């Protein structure tokens, strides 16, 4: 998948925080997000208020811990018009729970 350049015409579709590093997901301040679910260690599903085809948006993720090495990525498995998946791994590539921020930008769609 090629990533399009950050065009100023892109619009923010959804944003928020996952604020728990424990066994349950906690949705912090958010825009256009109904809920966030912890599916398993290091695996989360973000449920959107308004649908957006996965081909029409890009999800940007960032963990909130600067001292610990984390690999955070979009999990392609559950992506559909309402759900976006997130996977977090620690420094030895094992799934791990952590806090994170997310932004979902919309492009190719009005």
Concatenated DSSP letters for 12-57? EEEEEEE---SSS--EEEEESEEEEEEEETTEEEEEESS---GGGE
Record the pTM: 0.84
Diameter of the chain measured on Cα atoms: 41
Judge whether 56 and 48 are in contact, CB under 8 Å. Answer: no
Residues (pLDDT < 70) of the chain are: 1-9, 66-67, 76-79, 108-110
pLDDT digits (tens, 9 = 90+) for 59-79: 899 887 766 788 888 886 666
Token pair 């420094």: residue: 91
Structural domains of the chain, with CATH = 24-106 (2.60.40)
Token pair 């966030």: residue: 36
Taking alpha carbons only, the member of 24, 19, 98, 32 closest to residue 59 is: 32
pLDDT digits (tens, 9 = 90+) for 35-46: 999 999 999 999
User: Do the strands 70-75 and 83-90 form a parallel or antiparallel pair, or are they unpaired?
Assistant: antiparallel
């Amino acid at each position: 998948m090629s990533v399009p350049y950050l065009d100023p015409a892109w619009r923010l579709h959804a944003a928020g925080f996952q604020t728990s590093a424990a066994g349950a997901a906690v949705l912090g301040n958010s825009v256009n997000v109904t809920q966030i679910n912890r599916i398993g260690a290091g695996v989360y599903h973000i449920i959107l208020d308004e649908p957006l085809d996965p081909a029409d948006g890009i999800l940007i993720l960032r963990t909130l811990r600067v001292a610990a090495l984390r690999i955070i990525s979009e999990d392609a498995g559950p992506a559909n018009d309402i759900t976006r998946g997130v996977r977090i791994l620690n420094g030895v590539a094992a799934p791990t729970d952590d806090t994170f921020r997310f932004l979902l930008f919309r492009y190719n769609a009005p």
